[in-house]
Structure 1
Amino acid sequence: MKKEYLIYKLSDAVKNTCKIPQETFQEYGVKRGLRNEDGSGVLVGLTNIGNVVGYDRDKDGKLQPCAGKLFYRGYEVDDLVSPLLKEKRFGFEEIAFLLLSGELPDKEELAAFRELLNDNMPLDHRTIVHIIDLEGSNIMNILARCVLEMYTFDPNPDDISRDNLMRQSIELIAKFPTIIAYAYNIYRHSVQGQSLHIRYPKENLSIAENFLFMLKHNRYTELDARTLDLLLIIQAEHGGGNNSTFTVRVTSSTRTDTYSSIAAGIGSLKGPLHGGANIKVINMFHHLKEQIKDWKNTDEIDTYLNRMLNKEAYDNTGLIYGIGHAVYTMSDPRAVELKRLAGELATEKGRREEYDFLCLLEQEGVKSVSAFRKTKKPICANLDFYSGFIYEMIGLPQEIYTPIFAMARIVGWTAHRIEELNYDGRRIIRPAYKNIQGQKEYLPIDKR
């Protein structure tokens, strides 16, 4: 039997062996995707870190839509972000301190924490050589492999004491920007034939500024850096139930090492249904800019969006990317913050007409999806609707959109890992799957 045919036969068998009708899940009361029938998540754990609020419950326990809110350690994110924007101050490091410790730092603590992060940003020369050897690979994969390689350089890689977990967390938060910047510069050199620059991070810059410096040298503005800083802040944490954070918690519950757990989180975030959605949005936006002649004509916009929903246009998936969220109903607070700053950035970059078009797409996209689905549940634009456009205005390539998400979310991942390994009565996370395969009689090989 030819190997190619064997692969085909094995693959073809999957059509039957993996077929489980949706009604069978309902018959056994199985919550697909760990989602309840009303769309809320199945409660599987407790946390003190992040809280995602997209609805209220009335006295009968039914979900009631509300304006979205996001909390970090009990603080509403808008209350954390507003002073930073008003004072034009970089705040990602301050938020990282909060998420890791549970407390906001004072000035002395924040200065020391910034210095500690800056001290840990440079990479071991062996890691740099490793990144060069992986030229041309997907940058998320390079990031995961570099994280696993850090295990070999760690003097106590398997120690899960609080002190060691915190040390490892700080090193990972500090090194992610450097790994991503170097990996892209090497990709740019090896694949695009551009000059290769490996810039050493500067001591007096924030993480957002240092990342742009390592990536672009001095070709960025203060608003570019402050906007990236905000993006890092609002993507740093999103509760314990999002797929990548839950992956980190599941693997951490086995007491595996930090690097194996974080690499698993990176693998989860890489998926297009999780961290890669902003690329889907920006590509859709470019398509719509070409297909819609009058960017102010809502009738023309609605007609084309309805064709997309009917799988007659664009990629024929029936989706308008960036519209809708698993938890948020009336609004995604992250999208609200980004929309405001995207307008400021678009004015600086001379792209206000595109920004106004994107805002109109949001308005009409929400209306079109709501009407098409015939749902009374409010639908809103999510974080990804504006993040890709912002990355593009800053001058960041699509190859690092998802890695930047990881650069932010490493803070939440490490905070949840520390919590998973330190709460009372911890147990390995081990849910159940109901087997519905009937028992079969064994046949000897000569009778098959």
Structure 2
Amino acid sequence: MKSRLDIKHMTEYLSLIDNNSKIPLDLYQKYNVKRGLRNSDGTGVLVGLTEIGDVHGYIMEEGDKIPVPGRLRYRGYNVEDLVKGFQICGRHGYEETAFLLLFGNIPKPQDLEDFNIDLGARRQLPDTFAEDMILKAPSSNIMNKLARSILALYSFDEKAEDNSIPNVLRQSMELISQFPTIVAYAFQAMEHYFNGKSLYIHTPISNLSTAENFLLMIRPDKKFTPLEAEVLDLALVLHAEHGGGNNSAFSTHVVSSSGTDTYSAIAAAVGSLKGPLHGGAAIRVRGMMEDLMEQVNDWSDESEVIAYLEATLRKEKYDKKGLIYGMGHAVYTLSDPRAVLLKNRAELLSKEAGRSKEFDLYCMVERLSQDIFDKYKKNGKKICANVDFYSGFVYSMLDIPTELYTPIFAVSRIAGWCAHRIEEIVSGGRIIRPAYKNVTSSKQYIKLSER
């Protein structure tokens, strides 16, 4: 039988959806509903406790939000101190960060060495997995392929349903190790089957860091510079965790609270991050900046840049949504510590890549945006560049295509997700079930013959 979902029926269905799914905004106010789990002042509704990540960007004083410099802490440690610690020693820090997030303590030298060896031994995928699960079923979207691959790993785990902490920890370490490999192979499959390029499948090297292995696996010649690996490692550290309230971490808590398996919980987190309102910001920043660079003749002319940004807020430029992407954050007000740290390394990388003028343009947009927002929004809100403002620029200098921006986010954030899953299993104890108020009226059933 042929489907009857033609234009006429689709129009009728859409009309029904519009009439029966659109809830009036005044009802949210009437019932004091916290849309998006946000309070009226923009702060998040307190729904849980965590010891993993702490995001601080303002203080509340007599009901007023007072902007302060941003602070991000992992397990109580200031992320700026962590970065300074491993960079002074000239080592990569993502693995140390993953250890801290999982176990709550910074590792001793022998602990870190053992952890690195353990991660290195787990980087390769199960036998036949790459061929059967990735190459034979490629996807034009790497996040889609990542989610499908995570669920497929369930079939390769004899203890997939075991939610004891030792087993979940084992699963977590395997996922942290294998995410870069899955993403790299999914990218190579996409490039080959959808873009007609040669297929390169490079085996990860056990004694290389996560950042080094990722660059090795996505590049045909497997080559990268020490600065490139250092900057990517920094990006991974800065994206590894951001408190329990961000959408994907909260998804991990919600799904884990039901008692489901690790693969289902992490696949749900990947699905959350795939959404452009969560994990896709760096792509939109890069797109906006490329559009700006095409339309502004003189990148050093502030008046031209201001004109573009003002037109953007008037919904006349780029995607016409009235947003300057990369500026502003739900929590940070005066500064995003991740953006500050990444900006410093972006400057060094821009000099090596011969793109200093482009870096200066980013700095100008960051500097001008506050005044432009004040002029058009008139809400007095303090905004700052967030980490996505510079991450896309960094990835472009690393010659990483935009299709990998969000997957790299996932490669980093898997450590935080696993830490939150373990915390939920240990301390949660109750399925997360918020309430929804039903606002439709009671209806009398009518027989089919009488409708």
- Fold match by TM threshold 0.5: yes
Aligned match of 1:305: 309
How far apart, in 1, do the equivalents of 2:300 and 2:86 lie? 34
Stretch moving more, 8-17 or 116-125: 8-17
Aligned residue pairs total 446
RMSD between superposed Cα atoms in Å: 1.2
Aligned match of 1:276: 280
Q: Could you tell me which amino acid in structure 2 is paired with residue 438 of structure 1?
A: S
Cα contact 2:139–2:145 (8 A) shared by 1: no
Aligned match of 2:267: 263
2:422 paired with 1:418 = yes
How far apart, in 2, do the equivalents of 1:366 and 1:388 lie? 21
The DSSP-based 3-state class of the residue aligned with 2:426 is coil
How far apart, in 1, do the equivalents of 2:259 and 2:360 lie? 49
Deviation of the 1:259 alpha carbon: 0.2
For 1:236-268, what per-residue CA distance to the aligned partner results, in whole angstroms no more than 9, with x for missing partners? Answer: 000000001101110000010000010010000
Report 1:92-241 matches (<5 A). Answer: 92-129=94-131, 130-216=133-219, 217-241=221-245
Aligned match of 2:446: 443
How far apart, in 1, do the equivalents of 2:445 and 2:318 lie? 50
Cα contact 1:366–1:381 (8 A) shared by 2: no
For 1:194-234, what per-residue CA distance to the aligned partner results, in whole angstroms no more than 9, with x for missing partners? Answer: 22111111122111101111111433111100000000001
How far apart, in 2, do the equivalents of 1:198 and 1:28 lie? 55
The DSSP-based 3-state class of the residue aligned with 1:219 is coil
Stretch moving more, 43-52 or 123-132: 123-132
Deviation of the 1:404 alpha carbon: 0.4
TM-score by length of 1: 0.97
Q: Could you tell me which amino acid in structure 1 is paired with residue 86 of structure 2?
A: L
Deviation of the 1:61 alpha carbon: 4.1
The DSSP-based 3-state class of the residue aligned with 1:323 is coil
How far apart, in 1, do the equivalents of 2:21 and 2:375 lie? 34
Stretch moving more, 371-380 or 428-437: 371-380
How far apart, in 1, do the equivalents of 2:197 and 2:382 lie? 47
Q: Could you tell me which amino acid in structure 2 is paired with residue 8 of structure 1?
A: T
Q: Could you tell me which amino acid in structure 1 is paired with residue 29 of structure 2?
A: Q
How far apart, in 1, do the equivalents of 2:334 and 2:108 lie? 35
Q: Could you tell me which amino acid in structure 2 is paired with residue 96 of structure 1?
A: A
| Unaligned segments of structure 2, at least 5 residues | none
Aligned match of 1:363: 367
How far apart, in 2, do the equivalents of 1:8 and 1:260 lie? 36
Q: Percent identity?
A: 51
Cα contact 2:140–2:194 (8 A) shared by 1: no
2:348 paired with 1:344 = yes
Aligned match of 1:323: 327
How far apart, in 2, do the equivalents of 1:286 and 1:166 lie? 42
| Unaligned segments of structure 1, at least 5 residues | none
Deviation of the 1:15 alpha carbon: 1.1
How far apart, in 1, do the equivalents of 2:163 and 2:126 lie? 23
Deviation of the 1:365 alpha carbon: 2.0
Q: Could you tell me which amino acid in structure 1 is paired with residue 174 of structure 2?
A: E
How far apart, in 1, do the equivalents of 2:376 and 2:248 lie? 30
TM-score by length of 2: 0.97
For 1:373-429, what per-residue CA distance to the aligned partner results, in whole angstroms no more than 9, with x for missing partners? Answer: 112221111111000010000111111110000000000000000000001x61000
2:21 paired with 1:18 = yes
Cα contact 1:115–1:203 (8 A) shared by 2: yes
Deviation of the 1:296 alpha carbon: 1.4
Report 1:76-91 matches (<5 A). Answer: 76-91=78-93
Cα contact 2:312–2:318 (8 A) shared by 1: yes
Q: Could you tell me which amino acid in structure 1 is paired with residue 402 of structure 2?
A: Q
Cα contact 1:370–1:379 (8 A) shared by 2: no
Cα contact 2:123–2:206 (8 A) shared by 1: no
How far apart, in 1, do the equivalents of 2:24 and 2:310 lie? 29
Cα contact 2:59–2:66 (8 A) shared by 1: yes
Q: Which 4+ residue blocks in structure 1 deviate beyond 6 angstroms?
A: none
The DSSP-based 3-state class of the residue aligned with 1:421 is helix
For 1:23-47, what per-residue CA distance to the aligned partner results, in whole angstroms no more than 9, with x for missing partners? Answer: 2101110010000011110000000
Deviation of the 1:11 alpha carbon: 1.8
How far apart, in 2, do the equivalents of 1:369 and 1:172 lie? 41
Deviation of the 1:20 alpha carbon: 1.5
How far apart, in 2, do the equivalents of 1:204 and 1:67 lie? 38
The DSSP-based 3-state class of the residue aligned with 2:128 is helix
For 1:168-191, what per-residue CA distance to the aligned partner results, in whole angstroms no more than 9, with x for missing partners? Answer: 000000000000111111211222
The DSSP-based 3-state class of the residue aligned with 1:55 is strand
